[in-house]
Every structure is written in C-alpha cells, then in structure tokens.
Amino acid sequence: MKFSTSPFLYKLNYLIKHKANLPIILAFLKFQISKPFFNHIRSREKRNYKTIIKDKKITHDFFSLNTFDWKKNLKKYKNRDIRYLEIGSFEGISSYFISEYLVLKEIHCVDTWEGSPEHHKINFRNIELNFDNNSKDIKNLKKFKTTSDDFFINNKENFDIIYVDGLHTYNQVKKDLINALKALKSDGIIICDDYLWNLDANKSDIPVQAINETVREFNLKIIAVTANQIFLKNKN
C-alpha cells in the first residue's frame, strides 16, 4: 500500500508494524476520528501563533501546527509553577510558546546547535543565533549547549513537562526517553515529536519503535497521539 492511496491505513499499518500497543492504537484512532471536527480550530490556532511569532527570526517553523494539541493536552498545568525541559530547541519557537502559555518557574533548553544528517542543508550557526534572539525575553530560561546525554548526567532537577525532540535515531530517542522518565515528576508529562515521521525509513533512523518499546517496558499511560506527536505519562 502506498501512503498516497490511504494515509490513514498506511499510518495504522506503520504503527502495527512497529509494535505499537493497543492503547497507542486506540489513541491514534481517537485522534483520526475526531480530527475533522477540530481541524478548523487547529488551523485557527496555527494561524494565530504564526501571527504572534511573525517578528521572530525563523527559517523553519516546525512547531506552529502543534499549538492546538499542546493547549488541549497541557491545560491542567495552567495554574501551576512549571519546570519545563526540552531536548532539541532549534530556533526556540516551542520554548517561546510554552513560556507564553504556562507560568514557568524554569525552562531548560538543551541542544548542541550542531545539527545531524537530517539537517545537512541547514546552517546551524544561524539557527543558534535565531534561538538566542527569539528566547532573549523568556524569563527563567537556562540554555545548555551540550548533548542530551551530558545534560542528563549532570541534571539534578525534576520536571513537570519534558519535550523530546532531539536526535531522531532509534538509539538516541530511547536513551532520551528513558532519561526523561527518570527526571519526570510523578504527575508530569512527556511529549515526543516526530512519532509518525519518515514512515519508510529503517528502524535505526526513526523514533517510533524506540518510543513504542519504552511505552511497553515502563507501562506508560498514553494521553494522546496527534498528527505527529505522542503524549505520555507514568501510571500512578
């Protein structure tokens, strides 16, 4: 089956092929069934955020399409002092969003700003300069120019929300997710980006199987599967 023939069935088969458990499949089906009813709101939120960041320095906007689903799935954190961590900050558009949407006690942004093979056409010196410019007014932001492995080795904090969007290989995603779970508060949430990404690639080059394995091994709760992300929690 080709993706163009039936994207829905292609993605469903992709999840099954990569050993997604039943709660993931059900969350995927729930999103796909409800998607037509929320697409107009999702599009509006995307446009609104693009308007908000129109004066930011942006070469690639990978984030605006997620704003509705982040608001929907993170609304319980609205009235708390939040510690937020993101692995892979790029130009700072996700960190700027979360700083505007929630009250942040601390925001930790981790990135090497060196890129990876998937970014072979991108000048990361400009990307880092854009991040610095876009995040300069975010209060309580701590920038860590290092690998996620080194960050977690030295980290002493626990976080309410962790966004995993670093190197997309199987091995690195699995390490990042396991390390994130160790740093997650008991009622915290992890968001993994690019869950349904690069659908024809080998296992070693995509996040999906690393995420699915970690979900099974740690018996994680599935909060949502969206167009390209998955929201996870520990089962208390």
Report pLDDT digits (tens) over 94-135: 999 999 999 999 999 999 999 776 666 778 889 999 999 999
What's the CA dihedral at 132, 140, 221, 148 to 10 degrees? 50
How many whole angstroms separate alpha carbon 133 and alpha carbon 125? Answer: 13
Parallel, antiparallel, or unpaired for β 184-192 and 159-164?
parallel
Mean pLDDT of 169-193: 96
In this prediction, residue 30 carries a pLDDT of 97
In this prediction, residue 203 carries a pLDDT of 73
Is the distance from CB of 231 to CB of 189 less than 8 angstroms?
yes
How many whole angstroms separate alpha carbon 70 and alpha carbon 84? Answer: 13
Range in 7-21, 74-88, 108-122 with the lowest mean pLDDT: 108-122
Helix/strand/coil for 206? coil
Mean pLDDT of 24-34: 97
Parallel, antiparallel, or unpaired for β 230-233 and 184-192?
antiparallel
How many whole angstroms separate alpha carbon 167 and alpha carbon 169? Answer: 6
In this prediction, residue 120 carries a pLDDT of 63
pLDDT tens across 62-73, in order? Answer: 999 999 999 999
User: At a CB cut-off of 8 Å and minimum separation 6, what does 232 contact?
Assistant: 189, 190, 191, 192, 215, 220, 221, 222, 223
Task: Please provide the average confidence, as pLDDT, over all residues in the chain.
Answer: 93
